[in-house]
Amino acid sequence: MAKEIKELTSRDENYSQWYNDLVIKADLAENSAVRGCMVVKPYGYAIWEKIQRQLDDMFKETGHVNAYFPLFIPKSFFSKEANHVEGFAKECAVVTHYRLKNDPRGKGVVVDPDARLEEELIVRPTSETIIWNTYRGWIQSHRDLPVLVNQWANVVRWEMRTRLFLRTAEFLWQEGHTAHATREEAIEETVKMLNVYACFAEQYMAIPVLKGVKTASERFAGAEDTYCIEALMQDGKALQAGTSHFLGQNFAKAFDVQFLNREGQREYVWATSWGVSTRLMGALIMSHSDNNGLVLPPKLAPYQVVIIPVYKDDAGLAVLNERVAVLSNELKALGISVKYDNSLNKKPGWKFAEYELKGVPVRLAMGARDLENGTIEVARRDTLTKETVPVDGIALHVKALLEDIQRNIYRKALDYRAAKTITVDSYDAFKEKIETGGFLLAHWDGTPETEERIKAETKATIRCIPLDGDLTPGVDMVTGKPSKQRVVFARAY
Amino acid sequence: MAKEIKELTSRDENYSQWYNDLVIKADLAENSAVRGCMVVKPYGYAIWEKIQRQLDDMFKETGHVNAYFPLFIPKSFFSKEANHVEGFAKECAVVTHYRLKNDPRGKGVVVDPDARLEEELIVRPTSETIIWNTYRGWIQSHRDLPVLVNQWANVVRWEMRTRLFLRTAEFLWQEGHTAHATREEAIEETVKMLNVYACFAEQYMAIPVLKGVKTASERFAGAEDTYCIEALMQDGKALQAGTSHFLGQNFAKAFDVQFLNREGQREYVWATSWGVSTRLMGALIMSHSDNNGLVLPPKLAPYQVVIIPVYKDDAGLAVLNERVAVLSNELKALGISVKYDNSLNKKPGWKFAEYELKGVPVRLAMGARDLENGTIEVARRDTLTKETVPVDGIALHVKALLEDIQRNIYRKALDYRAAKTITVDSYDAFKEKIETGGFLLAHWDGTPETEERIKAETKATIRCIPLDGDLTPGVDMVTGKPSKQRVVFARAY
């Protein structure tokens, strides 16, 4: 789609505007005509497909299967788990009618008042209720357990303030819903999936994450415990990148899902649920990108290498086309995805800027002189450096380079996080440090009151009680009461 | 999920009940608590994933990319294309509110009357309107064309009479939406995608299909022409398995999508749309399955081979486990998907019946005597035959067998269709033949009146005007008026 490449707003000048500009200009997504709902454009969706494919493989490797449950949830199901309805009732889309009819006044169509549903249907904001209602039919005996099911789906939460990828009324996600015979096994599953998420974030998205447990006030509505991975964006704000919930027997009790155990006794089933969403796209963008545009980790880039011919005339292009065809095949043989852009209506300089904006990890450029000299220009997106190297052996060189880029952007994000992770002992220091962002490790007395006060006064929330944190006790920085361990505070998306 | 395997209703006795039984007993899908919405169970979803993956590859090979558009469509968009709204307004789910609240009478939650949407939102029954509203922003010049986009999504059509997979209120599908500079190019795309569908149906689903064009009365609401593939089920009823629409400039005009052509003039854009859905699952089941259960084409089977150990004691099983591990690896090395079922709580006979019911193309069984003799029992699902063969070279044998099964079930379906495709010249003969089902090739005068009369009197519809049919003219069997060519009649799902 032809368009002028305009400069992005600088990250330092206005981070929020930089993000919005980038999402639009890199053709990732745009706002739709429906309030709060986005259109995920082909380039953005191609990244999402890479994320999906990899996660799906990881879910299957850990024994899960996919299924699909209805989009709609009867209103009465919603009320069955008290905390759950409390958490979601205020932001859900409600279907009340099933038919339109011609406007009797002749103006288009109107809702047909005769086609009112007996019971309203909620567009799923999450599927625990409809799924646990279904599991009642699937689970009778301990031999039916565990049930290890995942669903890829769209969900709707009527958010009032929306931002592309980060918070949208409709979003795409996966939601795992598992059923177990024992508490221990369900907790094990909860932690296992948290680890899958952390592994995916670090090894594929190149985003370091903290693993931890949410405080009671930040817990999923209906969970006994919410585990999470928390990432740090380049503006010092935290972003919750995935959650895994231990649901106890709450939903089994709400939907009467019992099983006969090995001893022949009836017991309620134990549950977990876990999900990541298109929000990960926001995390990906904000972790690595710069003032020139997107920076994509090679493992999730729709194409890892772009090749651009630099030519004077048709004859010159023809020779380059032939040479690049050979080169492309060499790259593809190593499993590298390649785009050759020899379109005629754009100049090389325009293309360089375009693929930089789109975050393609490696750019190769080849001109007449390269053909003579047996060389090629290699530019890497992460460091914005380039070099001219012999074209012989370039495929292996690029393969190594892609691996280096994947490592490098992870290390860069890790260094950034290390520099922005600060131990704080006084509330004054906390208030000062929170202004420049980052993860603040501080002692907390464990009460929701103190948590709420800190949030009200500093806009910082407890991101998590870290799983592998220092367990040295101390005293709460606000109240002076005893604290078991430091927790992680930050301002967050 | 433990359950007794009960006999299916026989196909001959009650075809419709046989189908319902099979969908449930083979664990493909079930009805949900939401009227008309189904739960696609893991085994059914695994087949759907195979379908998706293959189609997606074929779309990408033909130059298409995926994107995602909102679930909701503002009501006013719907009215913009007159035929479109006429076609869909009577069966759509309407969102009118965005919040619930606690029932003031203390009974659960109720719709909050203060949270009424200014404009109602329709849950998409198909996405032409929201997509063409979006394309207005994407297309300015001929350089922006073609736009070749596909979307995998759920859609909702409030059908009054539903059946698992065949007709459900919510279903899963893909919808391609392309934009072109010329009428010719759009028609070419429409036909190209019809051919992709036909190729997929025949080569992967093993279902022979007729390619044709719908009559005006069977056209998609808003299309200039609807192309379709039509399959014949084992009960002699036709099933429309996919459609590809040439939309002309109807949606471009409704949403004002114009482009500057090479001559610098503004023109409306030409459109196509095309889709297949989880209805294909119904076609798959009804084309090949028998009184013992599902018969799956190897190319779409979640696992192509099941291996079952036949043993007397733990020691016997241990030896078999070891031998089968080697065998499984040999099969996997040839790209064959394998399930080894050595679960302890089921007898071999139960497993044989279970995997027969689930349509696994090849079953291997191995016992102590096989180990001694260096043999293995091979059973094929399509013919229900079995043989004992040397275990040496079994992997290559199975590979060839899978290919043979794929060919055989296609040929069987093709033979059936050939036997049930009848040329008919008199309306009396037509009325007689239609009672036993099949495709009837008859002359038609081209008027909707005659089409409607035949439908009212015989329940048969014109499935399509075949693309590669005999073009010999004749006279309408009912009115005696001239006819350009024979068309295809059938009773249909």
* Enclosing domain of residue A428: 421-490
Distances (CA, A) of B371 to B310, B323, B392: 11, 8, 11
In angstroms, the CA B260 to CA B268 distance is: 9
Say if B327 falls within a structural domain: yes
Contact assessment for residue A454 and residue A433, using Cβ atoms and an 8 Å cutoff:
no
Q: Residue A1: its pLDDT value, please?
A: 36
| pLDDT at A2 exceeding the cut of 50 | no
Q: What mean pLDDT is predicted for residues A245-250?
A: 98
In angstroms, the CA A1 to CA B142 distance is: 10
Q: Is B133 on the interface with A (CB under 8 A)?
A: yes
Say if A6 falls within a structural domain: no
Residues of B whose CB is below 8 A from A102: 89
B108/chain A closest Cα distance in angstroms: 5
Mean pLDDT, chain A, integer: 96
Chain A 325-384, CB below 8 Å of chain B: which residues? 345
Say if A140 falls within a structural domain: yes
Task: State which of A404, A433, A453 marks the end of a domain.
Answer: A404
Residues of A whose CB is below 8 A from B89: 99-102, 109
Choose among B92, B111, B133: nearest Cβ to A94.
B111
Say if B39 falls within a structural domain: yes
Distances (CA, A) of B184 to A160, A376, B59: 45, 42, 20
Q: pLDDT-derived band of residue B462, with 50, 70 and 90 as boundaries?
A: very high
| pLDDT at B3 exceeding the cut of 60 | no
Residues A397 and A433 in one domain: no
Q: Is the dihedral of CA B416, B418, B419, B423 positive or negative?
A: positive
Q: Is A140 on the interface with B (CB under 8 A)?
A: yes
B125/chain A closest Cα distance in angstroms: 12
Task: State which of A344, A376, A404 marks the end of a domain.
Answer: A404
Residues B194 and B341 in one domain: no
Residues B283 and B350 in one domain: no
| pLDDT at A470 exceeding the cut of 80 | yes
Write the pLDDT tens digit of every residue in A350-385.
999 999 999 999 999 999 999 999 999 999 999 999
Q: Of A7-16, A462-471, B101-110, B239-248, where does mean pLDDT reach its minimum?
A: B101-110
Q: Is B46 on the interface with A (CB under 8 A)?
A: yes
Q: For chain B, how many structural domains are there in total?
A: 3
Nearest CA in chain A to B93: A98
- Put simply, the answer to whether A138 touches B1 (Cβ < 8 Å) is yes
Residues A207 and A250 in one domain: yes
In angstroms, the CA B30 to CA B163 distance is: 10
Q: Residue A81: its pLDDT value, please?
A: 86
Residues of A whose CB is below 8 A from B78: 100, 108-109
B444/chain A closest Cα distance in angstroms: 34
Residues A196 and A232 in one domain: yes
Q: Which of A167, A180, A171 is nearest to A152 (CA)?
A: A171
Q: Is A60 on the interface with B (CB under 8 A)?
A: no
Say if B10 falls within a structural domain: no
In angstroms, the CA A115 to CA A109 distance is: 14
Task: State which of B288, B309, B326 marks the end of a domain.
Answer: B288
Choose among A76, A130, A144: nearest Cβ to B32.
A130
Q: Which of B251, B244, B257 is nearest to B62 (CA)?
A: B244
Choose among A89, A97, A143: nearest Cβ to B101.
A89
Residues of B whose CB is below 8 A from A32: 69-70, 130, 134
Q: Is the dihedral of CA B475, B478, B481, B484 positive or negative?
A: negative
**What CATH number does the domain containing B469 carry?**
3.30.110.30
Contact assessment for residue A214 and residue A464, using Cβ atoms and an 8 Å cutoff:
yes
Q: Dihedral (C-alpha) B405, B410, B411, B412: value to the nearest 10 degrees?
A: 90
What 3-state DSSP class applies to A482? strand
Q: What mean pLDDT is predicted for residues A257-281?
A: 98
Mean pLDDT, chain B, integer: 96
Q: Is A94 on the interface with B (CB under 8 A)?
A: yes
- Put simply, the answer to whether A78 touches B109 (Cβ < 8 Å) is yes
Q: Residue B2: its pLDDT value, please?
A: 37
For residue A475 the two structure tokens come to 């005293």
Q: Is the dihedral of CA B8, B13, B17, B20 positive or negative?
A: positive
| pLDDT at A114 exceeding the cut of 80 | yes
Q: Is A95 on the interface with B (CB under 8 A)?
A: yes
Q: What mean pLDDT is predicted for residues A110-134?
A: 97
Q: pLDDT-derived band of residue B5, with 50, 70 and 90 as boundaries?
A: low
Q: pLDDT-derived band of residue B83, with 50, 70 and 90 as boundaries?
A: confident
Q: Is B57 on the interface with A (CB under 8 A)?
A: no
Q: What mean pLDDT is predicted for residues A190-213?
A: 98
Write the pLDDT tens digit of every residue in A328-347.
999 999 999 999 999 998 99
Q: Is B42 on the interface with A (CB under 8 A)?
A: yes
Q: pLDDT-derived band of residue A3, with 50, 70 and 90 as boundaries?
A: very low
Q: Is A416 on the interface with B (CB under 8 A)?
A: no
**What CATH number does the domain containing B170 carry?**
3.30.930.10
Q: Is A38 on the interface with B (CB under 8 A)?
A: yes
Residues B331 and B437 in one domain: no
Write the pLDDT tens digit of every residue in B416-426.
999 999 999 99
Q: What mean pLDDT is predicted for residues A206-218?
A: 97
Distances (CA, A) of A31 to A38, A313, B136, B139: 5, 41, 13, 16
Write the pLDDT tens digit of every residue in A406-454.
999 999 999 999 999 999 999 999 999 999 999 999 999 999 999 999 9
Cα angle, residue A38 at apex, residues A34 and A42 outer, rounded to 5°? 135
Q: Is A145 on the interface with B (CB under 8 A)?
A: no
Q: Where would I find the H helices in B62-120?
A: 75-78, 82-88
| pLDDT at A107 exceeding the cut of 80 | no
Residues of A whose CB is below 8 A from B111: 75, 94, 96, 120
Interface predicted TM-score of the whole assembly (ipTM), two decimals:
0.96
Collect all residues with Cβ–Cβ distance below 8 Å to A125 and sequence separation of at least 6.
A88, A91, A92, A155, A156, A157
- Put simply, the answer to whether A134 touches B39 (Cβ < 8 Å) is yes
Collect all residues with Cβ–Cβ distance below 8 Å to B378 and sequence separation of at least 6.
B362, B363, B364, B386, B387, B388, B389, B394, B397, B398, B401
Side-chain half-sphere exposure of B302, counting CA atoms within 13 A = 20
Write the pLDDT tens digit of every residue in B294-329.
999 999 999 999 999 999 999 999 999 999 999 999
Q: Is B256 on the interface with A (CB under 8 A)?
A: no
Q: pLDDT-derived band of residue B469, with 50, 70 and 90 as boundaries?
A: confident
Residues A284 and A303 in one domain: no
Contact assessment for residue A365 and residue A357, using Cβ atoms and an 8 Å cutoff:
no
A58/chain B closest Cα distance in angstroms: 16
Choose among A68, A79, A133: nearest Cβ to B40.
A68
Q: Which of A442, A424, A440 is nearest to A490 (CA)?
A: A440
Residues B399 and B447 in one domain: no
Best of A98, A118, A255, A344 to mutate (most B CBs within 10 Å, chain B): A98
- Put simply, the answer to whether B32 touches A156 (Cβ < 8 Å) is no
- Put simply, the answer to whether A94 touches B99 (Cβ < 8 Å) is yes
Chain A 96-125, CB below 8 Å of chain B: which residues? 96-102, 108-109, 111, 120-123
In angstroms, the CA A312 to CA A323 distance is: 16
Q: Is A158 on the interface with B (CB under 8 A)?
A: yes
SS3 content of chain B, % helix, strand, coil (to 5): 40, 30, 35
A206/chain B closest Cα distance in angstroms: 24
Q: Residue A345: its pLDDT value, please?
A: 87
Residues of B whose CB is below 8 A from A33: 70, 74, 77, 130, 133-134
Sheet with B375-380: strands ordered across: B338-340, B305-310, B362-367, B375-380, B385-390
**In one letter, which amino acid is A402?**
L
Residues B447 and B477 in one domain: yes
Residues A305 and A208 in one domain: no
Residues A369 and A267 in one domain: no
Residues B190 and B241 in one domain: yes
For residue B356 the two structure tokens come to 């027969």
How is residue A492 annotated by DSSP? B
- Which pairs count as long-range contacts for B443-447, CB under 8 Å and 24+ apart, including other chains? B443/B474, B443/B475, B443/B476, B443/B477, B443/B483, B443/B485, B443/B486, B443/B487, B444/B476, B444/B477, B444/B483, B444/B486, B444/B487, B445/B475, B445/B476, B445/B478, B445/B479, B445/B481, B445/B482, B445/B483, B446/B483, B446/B484, B447/B479, B447/B481
Tally of helices (H runs) and strands (E runs) in chain A: 14, 27
| pLDDT at B85 exceeding the cut of 90 | no
In angstroms, the CA B412 to CA B400 distance is: 18
A-B C-beta contacts closer than 8 Å: 212
Say if A440 falls within a structural domain: yes
| pLDDT at B79 exceeding the cut of 90 | no
Q: What is the pTM of this model?
A: 0.96
B117/chain A closest Cα distance in angstroms: 10
Residues of A whose CB is below 8 A from B135: none
In angstroms, the CA B14 to CA A470 distance is: 68
